[in-house]
Structure 1
Amino acid sequence: MNFDTTPFHVLNHILDSAQPEKDSSKSSYVRDAKAMAATPADVKEYADAYSFVIDMPGLKSGDIKVQVEDDNVLVISGERKREEEEGAKYVRMERRVGKFMRKFVIPENADLEGVSAVCQDGVLTVRVQKKPPPEPKKPKTIEVKIA
């Protein structure tokens, strides 16, 4: 039996004892489900656009995909991968990894040609322009004929 008494092992043991489900068969399922769970988002409406703001810390633009499906669904998806380093082993892994996806139904007045996405400082902002409001219809005048 290996009795590792390094400070990391002791700390890891203390943290693990607070999580009794760690060794259960469903713990990896729960961890993966959390990693793929809906990523929180803020949705804002402006006079000329809709804005979707999602935290994406540590992701590069190649890890994020923004698409429009079915002419009215904005899909934001991607994958956060675990970084592997040669010569290093994890003592504890708490940062979530895995795939994520969010879908938003876009209102009818959205201009799907006016979609832009920028990821800056770990925050993804997707902006969807609104179509200009339709011009009010002018009343049609019908000539009255005398019979």
Structure 2
Amino acid sequence: MATASVDVKELPASYVFVADVPGLKNTDIKVQIENDSILKISGERKREDNPSYDIKYVRVERAVGKFMRKFNLPANANLEAVAASCQDGILTVTVPKIPPPEPHQPKTFDIAVASTAADSKK
């Protein structure tokens, strides 16, 4: 199984996964969320051989075959808003963060003190 190199960045509002997928078409790449907590990037890189020629490789360095990478997503990942794009052999998957809840602010009340009959006689 081949591998894809991936950089993972944390930004203030999102997590960004950047993967090298040179030579792959968008249809060759799958981006999935598994078990509501795992980002899975997979695909298959195929060798482009022309069967009409008798090919003998002198050197083979480019990886071919299926690849898969899995990443555990943090609890604050917004799985409903995951977006992916691929351009020039770079796959970018953006996982927005769920904003933290607003801190609880205590409420302050102004209390009007009514005068009593005893106070009015003084």
TM range (shorter): 0.7 to 0.9
- Normalised TM-score (structure 2): 0.79
Q: Which amino acid aligns with 2:45?
A: R
Unaligned runs of 5+ in 2: 109-122
- The 3-state SS of whatever aligns with 1:110 is coil
Instruction: Note the aligned Cα RMSD (angstroms).
Output: 1.7
- The Cα of 1:96 is off from its aligned counterpart by 1.1
Of 69, 78, 97, the residue aligned with 1:102 is: 69
- The 3-state SS of whatever aligns with 2:80 is strand
Q: How many aligned residue pairs are there?
A: 106
Give 4+ residue runs of structure 1 displaced > 4 Å after superposition. Answer: none
- The Cα of 1:66 is off from its aligned counterpart by 0.2
Identify which of structures 1 and 2 has the higher relative contact order when contacts are C-alpha pairs closer than 8 Å and 6+ apart: 2
Partner Cα separation in structure 2 for residue 114 and residue 90 of structure 1: 47
Partner Cα separation in structure 2 for residue 65 and residue 72 of structure 1: 16
- Normalised TM-score (structure 1): 0.66
Question: What are the superposed Cα offsets for residues 96-137 of structure 1, whole Å, 9 maximum, x if unpaired?
Answer: 101100000001111001101111110111000011111112
Partner Cα separation in structure 1 for residue 85 and residue 102 of structure 2: 32
Unaligned runs of 5+ in 1: 1-35, 142-147
Q: Which residue of 2 aligns with 1:126?
A: 93
